[in-house]
Amino acid sequence: SQQGEEDPQALSIQEGENATMNCSYKTSINNLQWYRQNSGRGLVHLILIRSNEREKHSGRLRVTLDTSKKSSSLLITASRAADTASYFCAPSPTGANSKLTFGKGITLSVRP
Amino acid sequence: EAQVTQNPRYLITVTGKKLTVTCSQNMNHEYMSWYRQDPGLGLRQIYYSMNVEVTDKGDVPEGYKVSRKEKRNFPLILESPSPNQTSLYFCASSWTSGGAGDTQYFGPGTRLTVL
């Protein structure tokens, strides 16, 4: 199964700064989702971008997708301490019954 | 409220003592899945189920069993737990396996320690 590879593994920024997280994948996809996990809790869906979309916004989140480079990025603008969490990308490969798979995640720390 | 519930939330057991972690969803989802999460290894899928009576192995199925006798429930069974199964376990559900862009809903997690 394909999983996304997030980069960097860990990111520490000051409150108010922007956080950029990247994800790369290997095969063609139908869509790609980003999830967030607060410490020890279940993952929560943040945003989905389809393969025919290049950019999508949701509040302070901006997701881009470059299918030619097989990569996606998640930008959190004006970060807050409450954004401290792990972030996962989950590409969904093309094909019947394709499964969403999760990578190792990015640990984001936002310092107050 | 749409949710996935897991029980127990915390469990400490000993090697070889059979245990079951229950998972239930109230969204009528067809797809359900179990993951384990270990430091440095991310989220790895153990088993998944496309629908009632349809289950299949994920990436790390050894030492686990599942059943899907009804749509809402997807229990994870450890017949003879070993210390290397100490982990944080998550159940998740969605309408489909992901190709259509369905959101996966996760349970709160079960922290299992096998001594």
pLDDT of residue B112: 98
Angstroms from A85 CA to nearest CA on chain B: 14
Q: Give CA–CA dist A95/A30, Å, rounded.
A: 8
Q: Give CA–CA dist B86/B12, Å, rounded.
A: 9
CB neighbour class for B67 (10 Å; exposed up to 12, middle 13-18, buried from 19): middle
For residue A96, name the pLDDT band (cuts at 50, 70, 90): low
User: What residues of chain B lie within 8 A of the CB of A33, using their CB?
Assistant: 98, 101, 103-104
pLDDT of residue A99: 78
pLDDT of residue A98: 74
Residues 32-71 of B with CB under 8 A from A: 35, 40-43, 45, 48, 50, 58-59
In order, the DSSP letters of B55-85 are EEE-S--TT-EE--SSTTB--EEESS--GGG
Q: Are B89 and B106 in contact (CB under 8 A)?
A: no
For residue A1, name the pLDDT band (cuts at 50, 70, 90): low
Q: B42–A103: do the CB atoms touch at under 8 Å?
A: yes
Q: What is the mean pLDDT of chain B?
A: 95
User: What residues of chain A lie within 8 A of the CB of B99, using their CB?
Assistant: 30-31, 92-99
> Minimal CA–CA distance to B51: which of A97, A6, A12, A40?
A97
For residue A97, name the pLDDT band (cuts at 50, 70, 90): low
pLDDT of residue B100: 73
User: What residues of chain B lie within 8 A of the CB of A32, using their CB?
Assistant: none
Give the pLDDT confidence of A17-44 residue by residue, as tens digits.
Answer: 999 999 999 989 989 999 999 998 999 9
Residue with the bigger pLDDT between A98 and A88: it is A88
Residues B84-99: what's their mean pLDDT? 91
User: What residues of chain B lie within 8 A of the CB of A35, using their CB?
Assistant: 104
Give the pLDDT confidence of A60-95 residue by residue, as tens digits.
Answer: 999 999 999 999 999 999 999 999 999 999 998 887
In order, the DSSP letters of B28-58 are --SEEEEEEEETTTEEEEEEEEEETTEEEE-
Q: Are A25 and A70 in contact (CB under 8 A)?
A: yes
pLDDT of residue A2: 63
| A56 residue type, one letter | K
Cα angle, residue B42 at apex, residues A45 and B66 outer, rounded to 5°: 80
Residues B62-85: what's their mean pLDDT? 98
